[in-house]
A and B are shown apart, each in its own frame.
Chain A
Amino acid sequence: MKYKEYEVNENVLYTKTHEWAKIENGKVRVGLTDYAVKKLKDIVYIEPQDIGQHVKKGDPIAAIDSIKASENVYAPVSGKIVEINSEVIEDPTLINRDPYGEGWILVIEVENPEEINELLKPEDYVKLLEKEEH
């Protein structure tokens, strides 16, 4: 699925703050959407929270520096950070190159499965992009 030049992956759910969340057996893998990445352009640094850290939905879970600005990645759901992608820390351009694949950022163990229902479906995320672009 695509909106303008922005890829919207059909196998993940979305937040209003442009994260994607892939449900995997009680865990969610989190990354930035193609739209977010194309807006940020060159990502040069990423600093996720530590493994074991408990986060609430909407909390910052990683700081990212692009040349232009420093931004946050926010937790799509509450839970414990159980895995961090060390490859994107080594080479943050992976996020630019493959946002839904190798550019994933971290994995959260879901605390409250109800929160998954609050995430946006791909078609609703496309609607959000339509709004943002107007």
Chain B
Amino acid sequence: MMASLKTPLYEEHVKLGATISDFAGWSMPIVYESTIKEHLSVRKSAGIFDVSHMARILVKGADSAKLLQKLIAKNIEKAKEGRMLGPTAFLNEQGGFIDDIMVYKLSEKEYLIVGNAVNREKDFSWIKRFTEGLEVKVADITFDIAMIALQGPDSSKIMKKLSTSDIMDLDFLHFKKEIEVAGVKSFLVSRSGWTGEDGYEIMIPSDSASKIWSALIKAGATPCGLAARDSLRIEMGYCLYGEDIDENTTPLEARYWVFTFNKPPYIGYDALLKKYEEGVDRIRLGIKLKERVVPRRGCKIYMGEKCIGEITSGTYSPVLNCGIGIAYIDSRHALVGAPVVVDIRGKKRKAKIVDFPFITK
């Protein structure tokens, strides 16, 4: 087996006593002390996540926009410098997800794509595949830049302590290049995240990652592992690639509005439009248990004796104190509010079909 990749913050995680496991080929901190504590720190104050494993790909050159217009499901002409475009997606010809991504317009001729760790190599070769005859350079800068997500209602208070610039004025999904954080010139800082809370994503040169990580902890942020990141995103009903979406899932049944039909066709456009008109067979919805039992991926969902769907990712919700799961439900049975049962370890558990997010914000 290939050796696991390490982020520039790996040693910090070891020092903090994290449980480290493989995630998408990376040795990542899953939990430090307690996932519940980490989860609640993000909901109530602030937490930090090492998200350096996420794919960061630079597309550069005169034809960058032309290339991306063909590859992404949103209109690249709508991208503005300093604003994130997304979430959007690379789709295949069938309208299935190659990856769900964020696009950052760095300048007229330069875009940054942030994708899922598990898809880094696939994304890179997918982009490269369509560059022939275009004036475009594609570079994987994942290893040059570290990425830390600061998330939670106290995020801006913490950033204020560490940043001298007008970081507080950044609107949601806006970013600024080269903002100074803890005395280090960052690559960029955006007001964004994947937890449903206010927060920032900080991209810095790899060799300064430890310095900023430590400064954030000193300023009051709790280090949080990927298990908390997962329970937080599930509470919001956000998708995780490989679990809730994949190449055989389109944004329609995922109800993941990463696309527009108001632009010149992109790869997957025709298939998506056709499905849009014909309708979908299954729909992504939430399943809320009546107790703390945790529904796992693959658990079947029933109405009476009829299996009507399956959990794709599940967790315990520290906010709701019950099990929750993201599921695909047969569209004839996709009735929000309806009682269902979930088969967990051979026992049928009472649950309800709900819409996202699970928690009210």
Contact = CB atoms under 8 A, between A and B. Distances in A.
Contacts of A68: 30-31, 35, 227
A39 B31 CA distance: 10
A45 interface: yes
Interface in B211-262: 227, 231
Contacts of B227: 67-68
B294 A44 contact: yes
Contacts, number: 45
Interface residues of A, number: 12
Given A41-B34, A47-B345, A67 B292 contact: no
Interface residues of B, number: 19
Interface in A75-93: 92
B52 interface: no
A123 interface: no
Interface string A26-44: 0000000000000101101
Contact of A70 (B36, B292, B296): B296
Contacts of B294: 44-45, 65, 67, 70
B81 to A, nearest CB: 40
A45 B36 contact: no
A91 to B, nearest CB: 10
A67 B36 contact: yes
Contacts of B296: 70
A35 to B, nearest CB: 13
B345 A63 contact: yes
A110 B161 CA distance: 62
A115 B231 CA distance: 41
Interface string A42-84: 1011010000000000000001010110100000000000000
B19 interface: yes
Contacts of A39: 19
B207 to A, nearest CB: 32
Contacts of A67: 31, 35-36, 227, 231, 294, 315-316
Nearest to B33: A41
Nearest to B230: A67
Contacts of A45: 291-294, 316, 323
Nearest to A45: B292
B16 to A, nearest CB: 14
B299 to A, nearest CB: 10
Contacts of B19: 39, 41
Contacts of A41: 19, 31, 33-35
B27 to A, nearest CB: 16
B272 to A, nearest CB: 35
Given A45-B291, A45-B292, A92-B292, A65 B316 contact: yes
Interface in B253-299: 291-294, 296
Contacts of B347: 47
Nearest to A92: B292
B2 to A, nearest CB: 22
A42 B30 contact: no
Contacts of A65: 292-294, 316, 323
A41 B316 CA distance: 13
Query: Which of B19, B31, B292 is packed against the most chain A CB atoms within 10 Å?
Result: B292
A55 B296 CA distance: 26
25 contacts: A39-B19, A41-B33, A41-B34, A42-B34, A42-B316, A44-B36, A44-B292, A44-B294, A44-B316, A45-B294, A45-B323, A47-B293, A47-B345, A47-B347, A63-B345, A65-B293, A65-B294, A67-B227, A67-B231, A67-B315, A67-B316, A68-B30, A68-B35, A70-B294, A70-B296
Interface of A: 39, 41-42, 44-45, 47, 63, 65, 67-68, 70, 92
Across the A-B interface, the 10 shortest Cβ-Cβ residue pairs:
A65-B294, A44-B316, A45-B292, A67-B35, A42-B36, A45-B293, A44-B292, A42-B35, A67-B316, A68-B227
